[in-house]
Amino acid sequence: MKLGSLIGEGGNEDAVVTGFAIDHRKVAPGTVFGAFRGARVNGEDYIADAVRAGAIAVIARPEAVVEGAVHIADDEPRAAFARAAARFFGPFPSCAVAVTGTNGKTSTVEMTRQLWRMAGHHAASIGTLGVTTADERVTTGLTTPDVVTFLSNVAGLAREGVTHLAFEASSHGLTQYRTEGLSVTAAAFTNLSRDHLDYHGDMAAYLTAKMRLFSEVLAPEGTAVVWADDAEAARVVDLARERGNRLVTVGTRGTTLRLVGRDPTLLGQGLTIEADGSTYQVRLPLIGAYQAANALVAAGLVIATGGDVARTLSDLARLQPVRGRLERAAIAKSGAPIYVDYAHTPDAIEAAIAALKPHAGGRLIVVFGAGGDRDPGKRETMGQVAVQQADRVIVTDDNPRTEDPAAIRREVLAGARGAIEIGDRRAAIAAAIREAGAEDIVLIAGKGHEQGQIVGDLVLPFDDVAVARECAG
């Protein structure tokens, strides 16, 4: 592709573009380099290195110094880079939907993919679990990967015949324009609670970042799908109406899919849903109120993109569990079930406990910690929620990263009065399983699907599910 077809006139229009990069170490002859100012690294410092490596154009702020390559100047270079990269990598799947919110993004995009597949579409999802299709998964390691990885992955899926894509839109990804360039047919909002304030600063900025999915990314003719029971749902609804978007609301306050009844069972729950003047009875094979919420948001996305209401609601009964989301990992020798969940915020821990509590004839034992180099303000609250809602709490290490693990545990324990402390995560899991009786349930929270534990700059092999099975054996 010629540079001129990507950026128009501006010098050297006939130069052939071979790729895009935001890391100067990945620049090859013919690359368009994106030089962005970040929280820790300023990409503008590496412009000269990128040009020496063969960059033919640099997208950067107007005041950046670019010599030896075309300077594509823009006040928001991340957005300009994403638009150009999208023209280079496309075409993409004809139907793309995005999901944002503090909790539930991963489950919702994966459930959406499953429902599309049941309806006969060639579907995929991208998010924390990686790139997931009907027969393949490739881990990316980030909820929202960098824009080059994202767009190249999406284009690759289209070449493989994928027509329907659901992806997670994190607040970081939205702020940093990591998912620009696609035409988003529908966008969903799950909920908002405290998280990532180390990055955004306060809840107002965090919400603003989430709202960008609806104010800028969602196509003007697109549909906003909203979990109506969240306190911030009205903000999304108002924004959608201002822009003239179609609106799909779900939940007990929803008008499109109204949840009028929920009956927990041993291995799932019965849902009573009103839609289009009809009442539907659904046996959802997943436990927990928040799993019902995720499933209904996913159903809303499928309906928003042309899915039949009755068929979609019927297919909810065939949904498969999502890795690391209230996943039953093992049964202890005592008979106690052991669940693993990704819950790593106060609200998510409370929701996971609430999901399991009705199923525990005895105690609910919770093992959890807090991640390092992430919003420290939520740690004490996580501890408070755990001890208030669970019967037994063990505070352990999560991913301490570059922080002192003991210091993190102290901050959690400040709110977790009466909890016990076992720093080693494997030992903590073993202790919980060892003391669990036949009527008890063990919940291991925080890491979910993750395959490693981040200590310092190292990623050490660690899988909560595998460890639970070993300790239960």
Q: What is the mean pLDDT of residues 117-134?
A: 91
Q: Which helix (H) or strand (E) holds 200?
A: helix 197-200
Q: How far apart are CA 44 and CA 65, in angstroms?
A: 8
Higher pLDDT: 130 or 257? It is: 257
Q: What is the pLDDT of residue 142?
A: 54
Nearest to 216 by CA among 190, 187, 195, 189: 187
Q: What would the pLDDT profile of 416-446 be if each residue is shown by its tens digit?
A: 999 999 999 999 999 999 999 999 999 999 9
* Encoded tokens for 138: 């490739």
Please spell the DSSP secondary structure of 434-451, one letter per residue: HH--TT-EEEEES-TT--
Q: What is the pLDDT of residue 180?
A: 81
Q: What is the mean pLDDT of residues 302-322?
A: 96
Query: Is residue 469 part of an annotated ligand binding site?
Result: no
Q: What is the pLDDT of residue 195?
A: 57
Q: What would the pLDDT profile of 54-69 be if each residue is shown by its tens digit?
A: 999 999 999 999 999 9
Query: Is residue 104 part of an annotated ligand binding site?
Result: yes
Query: Is residue 144 part of an annotated ligand binding site?
Result: yes
Angle at 341 between CA 292 and CA 299, to 5 degrees: 25
Reported in sequence order, the residue ranges of 312-427 that DSSP labels E, i.e. its strands, are 327-331, 337-341, 364-368, 392-395, 420-421
* 24-33, 175-184, 250-259, 286-295: segment of lowest average pLDDT: 175-184
Q: What is the pLDDT of residue 191?
A: 86
Residue 358 has pLDDT above 80, yes or no: yes
Query: Is residue 178 part of an annotated ligand binding site?
Result: yes
Query: Is residue 112 part of an annotated ligand binding site?
Result: no
Query: Is residue 179 part of an annotated ligand binding site?
Result: no
Q: What is the pLDDT of residue 193?
A: 73
Q: What is the pLDDT of residue 178?
A: 81
Q: What is the pLDDT of residue 223?
A: 98
Q: How far apart are CA 264 and CA 271, in angstroms?
A: 9
Higher pLDDT: 165 or 176? It is: 165
* Average pLDDT in the chain: 91
Question: Would you give the distance in Å from CA 82 to the centre of its chain?
Answer: 20
From the DSSP assignment, how many helices (H) and strands (E) are in the chain? 16, 23
Higher pLDDT: 339 or 199? It is: 339
- 3-77 placed in CATH 3.30.1370.100: no
pLDDT band at 212 (very low <50, low <70, confident <90, very high): confident
Question: Would you give the distance in Å from CA 424 to the centre of its chain?
Answer: 27
Superfamily of domain 90-318: Mur-like, catalytic domain (3.40.1190.10)
Q: What is the pLDDT of residue 204?
A: 74
Percent of the chain with pLDDT over 70: 95
The CATH number of the structural domain formed by 327-472 is: 3.90.190.20
Query: Is residue 371 part of an annotated ligand binding site?
Result: no
Are the CB atoms for 16 and 31 separated by under 8 Å? Answer: no
Q: How far apart are CA 317 and CA 444, in angstroms?
A: 26
Q: What is the mean pLDDT of residues 359-363?
A: 91
Q: What is the pLDDT of residue 472?
A: 96
Provide the edge-to-edge strand list for the sheet that holds 70-73.
19-21, 31-34, 57-60, 70-73
Query: Is residue 388 part of an annotated ligand binding site?
Result: no
Query: Is residue 398 part of an annotated ligand binding site?
Result: yes
Query: Is residue 152 part of an annotated ligand binding site?
Result: no
Q: What is the pLDDT of residue 109?
A: 96
Residue 359 has pLDDT above 90, yes or no: no
Domain ranges, ordered by start, for the chain: 3-77, 90-318, 327-472
Query: Is residue 139 part of an annotated ligand binding site?
Result: no
Residue 383 has pLDDT above 80, yes or no: yes
User: In the chain, helix, strand, coil percent, each to 5?
Assistant: 35, 25, 40
Query: Is residue 215 part of an annotated ligand binding site?
Result: no
Query: Is residue 103 part of an annotated ligand binding site?
Result: yes
pLDDT band at 152 (very low <50, low <70, confident <90, very high): very high
Q: Give the global pTM.
A: 0.81
What is the C-alpha end-to-end distance of the chain, expressed in Å? Answer: 57
Do domains 3-77 and 327-472 share one topology? The answer is no
